[in-house]
Amino acid sequence: MVKTKIIEESDEKIRILLTDTDRAFVNSIRRSLISDTPKMAIDTVRFEMATIEMDDEVWETNGPLPDEMIAQRLAMLPIPTRHDEFYFQDSCPNCSELVVEDRGCPLCTMLFTCKTFGTEEGRMVTAGDMNFLGEDDLSIPEKYRSIPITKLFRGQMIEFYATAVMGRGRDHAKWSPVCGITFTPRYVGVINIKTRSKMLWNLNLSITAKDFDSNGRLEDLDKVAQLIEDLHHVGAGTEESREFKDAVVVEEVPGEFILSFETDGSITARVAFEKAIEELSGRFGKIEEDLAAVL
């Protein structure tokens, strides 16, 4: 059975050590994170066309950016996602039996509004100018409220209504909650020839002989990563490589991989990983049922 160990974790970033597995399974987790993990994202935007007279000035909805470009920016904003409170529209208790055009209720849809005016010097409209019609804790998180949407000057205004729904990355990139996702084999450092390894230690880089255990092995993940960088100083293309000749090497650990990724802020990295595993498990469960029915 696959075992997991969290190496490093924050709300938006995580590194996980996976053991007793193979490259194909880890890659399936990677693909599930990108394509299957559900999240909320703005799907439709209705822009209001208007001219307003206020304080002896005329304000018009004629900003510098086309509506289509603004809609694309809105789609990529990190919308807070609560999987236990919202449904996909096609499985919503209130909307699943309705035609697509009529779907949309508090159980499957989030509604945001924005009405902002420009200034003489120019006012940047940001994600923080959007108001969520609901609980305050489902508004755009404070750290992302400065994301720019457009810039308005005197006489310019913008007004729109945006709806967010649950979706998956396989349908559109705006529903993919992760980025920078990658995995590598776990490596360990090994001293093959102590006498020649001194060439590396004499360079006074980050890793020294004291970092290795009595068996000449280095297993600390962060130090191994630094060792890989240090070995470039005595690797191929360097003068030292002629004599060094793999005195110190890094070796793959069979069946162990390090998975790392960041999220867009709509969900935490831990939740993204858990949901990816849940989606993957459900898919394999269906395959098992189908095989049982056929065989």
Does the pLDDT value for residue 55 go beyond 80? no
Q: Report phi then psi at 103, rounded to 5.
A: -75, 150
Question: Do 85 and 21 sit in the same domain of this protein?
Answer: no
Q: Which amino acid is at 129?
A: D
Closest CA to 228 of 205, 245, 198: 205
> Do 55 and 158 reside in the same domain of the chain?
yes
Q: Same domain, yes or no, for 147 and 62?
A: yes
Last residue of a domain, one of 111, 144, 172: 172
From the CB of residue 90, how many other CB atoms can be counted at a distance below 10 Å? 13
Please tell me whether residues 121 and 168 are part of one structural domain: yes
Q: Looking up tokens 């920078």, which residue turns up?
A: 180
Number of domains making up the chain? 2
**CA-to-CA distance for 158 and 152, rounded, in angstroms?**
8
What average pLDDT score do residues 11-33 get? 94
Distant-in-sequence, close-in-space partners of 196: CB < 8 Å, separation ≥ 6: 243, 244, 245, 247
Assess if residue 273 is contained within a domain.
no
266: tokens are 């709509």
Domain boundary residue, one of 172, 189, 214: 172
In a domain, 76, yes or no: yes
Residues 22 and 63 in one domain: no
The CA–CA distances, whole Å, from 219 to 18, 56, 257, 259 equal 15, 72, 13, 17
Residue 237: the pLDDT is 87
Mean local confidence (pLDDT), 35-64: 90
**Residue 109 within any structural domain of the chain:** yes
Residues 9 and 72 reside in one and the same domain: no
Structural domain boundaries enclosing 207: 3-36+179-261
pLDDT digits (tens, 9 = 90+) for 250-273: 999 999 999 999 999 999 999 999
Interval 115-137: pLDDT, tens: 999 999 999 999 999 999 988 88
3-state secondary structure of 84: coil
Q: What's the rounded Cα separation, in Å, for the pair 138 and 82?
A: 9
E-strand stretches of 30-144 = 39-47, 51-54, 57-60, 109-117, 123-126, 131-132
Same structural domain, 135 and 168: yes
Question: Quick one: 21 and 93 in the same domain?
Answer: no
